[in-house]
Amino acid sequence: MLRVGFAQLEPKIMEAETNLAGAEEAIASARESNVDILVLPELANSGYVFESGDEVEAMSEVIPDGPFSRILQRGSSSGMMIVSGICERFGHVFSNSAAAFCDGEHAITYRKVHLFDRENHWFEAGDSKPPVFDYRDARFGLMVCFDWIFPEMARILAIDGAQIILHPANLVLPYCQEAMITRSIENRVFTLTSNRVGLERGIQFSGKSQVTSPKGEVLVRANSSGTSIDWVDIDLSLADDKMITKRNHVLKDRKPEMYGRLIDPS
Ligand code: ACM
C-alpha cells in the first residue's frame, strides 16, 4: 500500500520565492501526513502565463541544480517520491518538464512532448518517450498536462508497465478530469492529476486535482478553487489486472494490424 497525494497549488507568475515557499510548505505538510508519493502541478516553480522569452528565461532553472529542484530533492530525502512540473533550462533551450526525486536523489526528467497553445512560443517540445520508472516495488509513468488529449501517451505508459500515471497539470480546457477517468479505464491504470488553481493574467485554471482507479473510480478529487493537499492509500498492483471481463484483456485484445494509420504521419 502506498499513500499517493497531490498538492493543488497556486503558483504565481514571476514570483520564484513565493513558489519555493509554497512547495516547501506543501512538502512539509505531506511529510507530516506520511504521504509516500507527492505530485505538484506543472510549472510549479514559475507560473504559466508568460509574456516574453525573457520571462521564461528568468524563471527557468537547471534540473537538479536549481533552487526549486533542490527543495524537492531535499524534501524527498526522508523516504518519499516528489514529482513536480518545472520550467527547465538546459543549454540554450527551455522545456516544460516534470522531474521526479526519490529518497533524496534526482530520478528522472521528462520534457513535455505536446505543447499547448502559446507554450509553443516558449518551449522546445520533448523528443523522448514518456518514462516509466520503479520506486518501492511499484511502476510509475509520467506525462504533463496537455499530453492527456493524446490517448497514445497513456497507452504507451501502460504498455511499458506503468501502474499509475503521474500527471502535473495547469488545466485550462474543461475536459481533462473526466477524460482521465477514461484513460484509467481504457488502460486499467491509476492516474494522479495534480492541477493548479487561480486566475493568472486572465487565464483561469480549473483545480479538481484527482486520483482515479483502473475501474474509473474517482478516489479523491479537490475543489475547483483553493489550494489543498489530498491523498489516498492504494495498492498499485491492482493495475496489473488487465482483464475487463473473464475473456477480455485490455492490452492483449488489441488488433495492431488494424491501427497502422495511427503511426502513419501523413
Ligand atoms: C496545458 O497543457 N497546460 C493546458
Confidence of residue 105 (pLDDT cuts 50, 70, 90): very high
For residue 57, is pLDDT > 90? Answer: yes
Q: Which CATH number fits domain 2-241: 3.30.43.10, 3.10.129.10, 2.40.30.10, 3.60.110.10?
A: 3.60.110.10
Residue reference for cell 518514462? 131
Q: What is the best residue among 118, 150, 172, 180 to mutate for testing ligand 1's pocket, by most ligand atoms within 8 Å of CB? A: 172
Position 266 scores a pLDDT of: 75
Closest residue by Cα to atom 2, ligand 1, is 146
Give residues with Cβ within 8 angstroms of 163, minimum separation 6. 138, 139, 140, 189, 190, 236, 237, 239, 240
Domain boundary assignment for the chain: 2-241
CA 252 to centroid of ligand 1, rounded, Å: 32
Q: What is the mean pLDDT of residues 162-176?
A: 97
Catalytic-labelled residue, pool 87, 88, 102, 112? 112
Q: What is the pTM of this model?
A: 0.98
Distances (CA, A) of 138 to 80, 165, 231, 242, 243: 13, 12, 17, 16, 19
Closest residue by Cα to atom 3, ligand 1, is 170
Tell me the chain's radius of gyration from C-alpha atoms: 17
Q: What number does the ligand 1 atom closest to the CA of 145 have?
A: 2
Q: What is the mean pLDDT of residues 73-85?
A: 97
Tell me the pLDDT of the chain averaged across its residues.
Answer: 97
Q: Is 116 in the pocket of ligand 1 (CB under 6 A)?
A: yes
Q: Is 10 in the pocket of ligand 1 (CB under 6 A)?
A: no
Q: Is 61 in the pocket of ligand 1 (CB under 6 A)?
A: no
For residue 233, is pLDDT > 80? Answer: yes
In 3D space, the residue among 105, 104, 150, 101 whose CA is nearest the CA of residue 129 turns out to be 150
Contact 4, 207 (CB under 8 A): no
Q: What is the mean pLDDT of residues 197-217?
A: 98
% of the chain residues with pLDDT over 70 = 100
Q: Is 42 in the pocket of ligand 1 (CB under 6 A)?
A: yes
Confidence of residue 185 (pLDDT cuts 50, 70, 90): very high
Position 264 scores a pLDDT of: 84
Q: What number does the ligand 1 atom closest to the CA of 173 have?
A: 4
Position 263 scores a pLDDT of: 84
Q: What is the mean pLDDT of residues 112-140?
A: 98
In 3D space, the residue among 151, 105, 109 whose CA is nearest the CA of residue 130 turns out to be 109
CA 43 to centroid of ligand 1, rounded, Å: 10
